Amino acid sequence: MSLRNIAIIAHVDHGKTTLVDELLKQSGAFRENQRVVERVMDSNELEKERGITILAKATSVVWNDVRINIVDTPGHADFGGEVERILSMVDGAIVLVDAAEGPMPQTKFVVGKALKVGLRPIVAVNKVDRPDGRADEVVNEVFDLFAALDADDEQLDFPILYGSGRDGWMNVNPEGPADEGLAPLFDLIVKHVPEPTVAEGAFSMIGTILEANPFLGRIITGRIHSGSIKPNQPLKVIDRDGKLLEQGRVSKILAFRGIERQPIDEGKAGDIVAIAGLTKGTVADTFCAPEVDEPLQAQPIDPPTVTMSFIVNDSPLAGTEGDKVTSRVIRERLFKEAEGNVALRIEEAEDKDSFHVSGRGELQLAVLIETMRREGFELAVSRPRVVMQKDDAGSLLEPIEEVVIDVDEEHSGVVVQKMSERKAEMTELRPSGGNRVRLVFLAPTRGLIGYQSELLTDTRGTAVMNRLFHDYQPYKGEIGGRSSGVLLANEAGEAVAYALFNLEDRGPMVIDAGEKVYEGMIVGIHTRDNDLEVNVLKGKKLTNIRAAGKDETVKLTPPIRMTLERALSWIQDDELVEVTPKSIRLRKLYLDPHERKRFEKSRANVA
């Protein structure tokens, strides 16, 4: 059976995973009576909730005696570490773009990587049934994008299909007909995508996806570069420099058949398989026969741009809601995560109670924290900080991102003002249809931390912001921080409604009545720029004299509920987010007021 390996590239929410659902259905990968969940490739609980693909996954379909291996790639640049490796496994790419939004920054990010490795793309314009669709303009934008990314003549001569992934059809005409389903897409893949190129020699493969299986141990997925492999065959693992990491035997070879992975008797060159039985080999290592000495070249990975401290939870409420609280279990979990995710970097601090975790962006780190809290971990995390670099002359360089904001025209003024305060430079302003404008900026990553929620407030929820790492540039100078101080609890106990009611004129609260608090915990946002200690435990004084009028029931203004991402971006450098399986609390780094004053003094002296 001949083979085709293809990746699907698209921006977040352009319908990539839904299209894969339909490809599986129409190729007969499901039984007729099989109950199929929606977005079958988003297997992770967080992926289903957020509607984004976080982990790259492979599947396989058979069309007219051709096996097509399909890889669903993440559309978010924060998970770009997955994307770079995936592209080394495939020979073609479907670039899926929304008929209204057109190519977006994350599409540009992945397409740039795909064109660089020489893949010839197929462009599929999705959601042509949208009332604001503009399919022809979008095709022109895609061509301009490819040209800007230095595509060669062959890559610029791309075939185009139009359709709706949700309704399960694609055609060379935007109007249809839709009755052929996805057959035109299948046929085009078979015709346009070349068969995998196979090298001569003994077995070799680069590891691209790593996962842990409770029954089989470490499973590594990759495309076989040369040779073939059978169960129980001896193997060795070498790193990028050719150093031997381990030797062992393959216990099982699994291949994708539909959405299921099934054991096979032999994996041949060109196919995408998963192998089990080795304990140390990881992503970007070469898995090969004992006689092979030269490692295969792996794609270089972009450096991390954001770092955070993960600290053992030392608050008075530590250990009351989670069962994994010690530095040992947190350390094990973080290093296990770093094994499979090459875009993450973990460093242990000198005190052994905290870890510096660096990644591509706030979202990637927030997803890791959210996953850990669901597993029962308790920890405190600091505000994200950017990873600086130095050039040859010793000057400080900081990461710069390309930011694309689509917003209603009436709100564009406030967006430009706020972005310029964050040291951003506008590079483009153009109408994007329907009284909306597209603003493109080059902005320091520092200035973008925490801007998402502010942007939605300023634009009444109408703005869409997309970010993409651009490069490192000279340090842009100081950027102003949060303008308001915080309200801090001055003792431990349970918050009382009467006390919260009387504090409402000091600023909005972030806790509700009945919640447990402790000294140094943030309970509200101060209306002024200084921090204020308040008593949230103070009840109403009771007397034995009946009041003349009936006591009014205290009506509290609902508190501001901090999500994990919002909390991380809102806190300052001297504050932490305490994360447990049940709660997200905000607190000061130093809970004792005297220690806080000493810390402030030392910081003032340094400044």
Q: What totals of helices (H) and strands (E) does the chain contain, helices first? A: 15, 35
Token couple for 355: 């870890």
Burial of 544 (0-12, 13-18, 19+ CB in 10 A): exposed
State yes or no: 14 annotated in a binding site: yes
Write the CB contacts of 510 (distance below 8 Å, at least 6 apart in sequence): 522, 523, 524, 525, 559, 560, 561, 562, 586
Instruction: Let me know: does 203 contact 288? Beta carbons within 8 Å.
Output: yes
Alpha-carbon gap, residue 225 to 203, rounded angstroms: 7
State yes or no: 376 annotated in a binding site: no
State yes or no: 435 annotated in a binding site: no
Write the CB contacts of 514 (distance below 8 Å, at least 6 apart in sequence): 494, 495, 497
State yes or no: 392 annotated in a binding site: no
State yes or no: 127 annotated in a binding site: yes
Cα distances from 5 to residues 23, 69, 204, 222, 408, in angstroms, run 14, 5, 18, 12, 41
Alpha-carbon gap, residue 400 to 445, rounded angstroms: 6
DSSP assigned state of 334: H
E strand or H helix that includes residue 3: strand 2-10
Instruction: Let me know: does 421 contact 477? Beta carbons within 8 Å.
Output: no
State yes or no: 13 annotated in a binding site: yes
Chain CA centroid to CA 213, Å: 23
Instruction: Let me know: does 258 contact 60? Beta carbons within 8 Å.
Output: yes
Token couple for 405: 């904001």
State yes or no: 582 annotated in a binding site: no
Instruction: Let me know: does 128 contact 94? Beta carbons within 8 Å.
Output: no
State yes or no: 538 annotated in a binding site: no
In DSSP terms, which residues pair with 413 in a beta bridge?
none
Alpha-carbon gap, residue 38 to 245, rounded angstroms: 41
Helix (H, G, I), strand (E, B) or coil at 225: strand
State yes or no: 107 annotated in a binding site: no
User: Sheet harboring 120-126: ordered strands across?
Assistant: 57-63, 66-72, 2-10, 92-98, 120-126, 160-164, 169-171
If we measure between CA atoms, which residue out of 401, 583, 565 comes closest to residue 50? 565
State yes or no: 90 annotated in a binding site: no
Instruction: Please report, in range form, the residues annotated as the binding site.
Output: 13-18, 126-129
Instruction: Please report, in range form, the residues annotated as the binding site for GTP.
Output: 13-18, 126-129
